[in-house]
Amino acid sequence: MATLTKQQIGTVLAKQGILIAFAVFMVAFTLANPKFISIDNLFSVVRSSAILGVMALGVTFVVISGNLDLSVGSMMSFSTIVVLDLHDKIGPALAIPAMFAMTLCLGAFIGFLVGYLRLNSLIVTLGMLSAIHGLTLTYSGGQNMDIADKEGTWFSVFGQGSALGIPVPILIFVALAAFLGIMLAKTPFGRKVYAVGGNGTAATFSGIRRARTVFACYIISAFCVATAGLIQASRSLGSQNTVGQGLELEVLAAVILGGASLLGGSGAIFKTVIGVLILGFIQNGLLLIGLQFYVQFVVTWVIIILAVWLDIAAKRGKLWSPIA
C-alpha cells in the first residue's frame, strides 16, 4: 500500500511536476519579496519573455516532430536586421511582409534539407546557425542597423505599444500561443506532428507524409522567428547584428523545461509557455531577492537537469539510471 501511494505521488509529480515547481517558485519569491507578485512586475516579466516565448512556440513543433532547430538565434538576428534596413528603404508596410518572406525562405531551405533529404537536423541547423550569421553580417556590412526617424514611425507599435492596457508583445505571444496550441492539439496536422516524432516509420506506414510534416514544422518555426524579430526590431528600433546570438539554446532550454522530449513525440504548446514563464520568473525573482544577474544561469542549469531527470525517472519507475 505504502509503495502504491509512493508510486502515485511519483506519477502525479511527474505529470504535473513542472506546474508544481512553477507554483513553488512563485510562492517562494513572493514570500521573499512581495513586489514580485505585483501586476506591474508580472507584466514586465511576461513582456520581456515574449520574444523568447514566441520563438519557443515554433521550436516546440520542430522538437515534437523529432528534430532540433539550433538556427533560430541567428535567424532572429537576420530578420531583425532585415526589417530595420528595409524600413527606411521601402517603408514599414512593405518591409514587414518582405522580411517574413525572406525568413520563411530560410525556414523552407532547412525544412527541405531535414524533411525531404532526411539529413541530421542537429548538424544542418548547426551549419545554418553559422551560415545565417554570415549572411546577416554580409547583409548589414558588419554595421549596426538603426531607423533614421525613430519618433515618427508607427512601426514601434509591435514592441512598445499597448492595447487595453496590455503591452502588444504580450498580446502577440498569447494570440500566437493560442493559435498554435489549438493547431497542435486539435487538428489533424497536429496529430501528424506527434505521430512523425513518436515513430516516424509507423507514421509513414499509416500514410502520413513525413517529409511534408517536418517541412511544415520548420516553416512554422521560421514564422515564429520572424515574429520575434519583428517584436525585437520594433522594441529597440535599432539593433546589433548579433542580437539573437545564443538565444537558440535558451529557447531549447525553455522547450525542454516544458517537458518536451528531444526524441520527439511529446510536448505541448501550453507546457512550453510554462517553461518560458519559469525561465522569465526565475530570472526576475532572483534579481528581486537581491542575487547577482548571472546566478540565474546556474539555477537554470540545475532546474533543467532536475526537470528532465524526474520526468524520465517517473517513466522508468526508478530514480537512478540502470546503466551499470
Partner 1 sequence: MKAGTLSKALKSGAIWGFIVLELIFFSIAGEYLSLSDKAFMDWENMLLLLKQSAPIGIIAMGMTIVMINGNIDLSVGATYAIAAIVLLESMTWPIFAGLGDMVIPVAWLLALLVGTFLGALNGLIVWKTGVDAFIVTLGSMLGFRGIVFMFNGENPTSHLNWTLVDFAEAEFLGLATASWFLLAVTLVIWFVMTKTVHGRNAYAIGDNRDAAVNAGIRVGPHIMINFAIIGFLAALSAVVFYSESGSVNPNDGQLYELWVITAVVLGGTKITGGAGSVIGTFGGVIAIQLLRKGLGHIGADTSTVNLVIGLILIVVLILDRQLNVKGKEELKV
Which residue ranges make up the site for partner 1 (CB under 8 A)? Answer: 66-68, 113, 117-124, 126-138, 142, 200-201, 246, 249-250, 252-253, 256, 262, 264, 292-298, 300-302, 304-305, 308-309, 312-313, 316, 320-324
Q: How far is the CB of 124 from partner 1 (least distance, A)?
A: 6
Q: How far is the CB of 81 from partner 1 (least distance, A)?
A: 12
Contact 241, 144 (CB under 8 A): yes
Q: How far is the CB of 21 from partner 1 (least distance, A)?
A: 15
Pick the closer one to partner 1 by CB: 10 or 170: 10
Pick the closer one to partner 1 by CB: 130 or 144: 130
Cα-based distances in Å from 309 to 21, 64, 202, 255:
14, 19, 28, 15
Pick the closer one to partner 1 by CB: 5 or 292: 292
Pick the closer one to partner 1 by CB: 7 or 130: 130
Contact 269, 181 (CB under 8 A): yes
Smallest CA-to-CA distance from 277 within 49, 57, 63, 51 is with: 49
Pairwise CA distance, residues 255 & 168, whole Å: 23
Pick the closer one to partner 1 by CB: 181 or 311: 311
136, three cell numbers: 546577416
SS3 content of the chain, % helix, strand, coil (to 5): 75, 0, 20
CA atoms within 13 A on the CB side of 4: 1
Q: How far is the CB of 324 from partner 1 (least distance, A)?
A: 5
Q: How far is the CB of 277 from partner 1 (least distance, A)?
A: 18
Q: How far is the CB of 44 from partner 1 (least distance, A)?
A: 22
Helix (H, G, I), strand (E, B) or coil at 162: strand
Cα angle, residue 18 at apex, residues 44 and 309 outer, rounded to 5°:
125
Pick the closer one to partner 1 by CB: 182 or 298: 298
Smallest CA-to-CA distance from 216 within 251, 180, 244 is with: 180
Q: How far is the CB of 143 from partner 1 (least distance, A)?
A: 11
Pick the closer one to partner 1 by CB: 38 or 120: 120
Cα angle, residue 41 at apex, residues 36 and 46 outer, rounded to 5°:
115
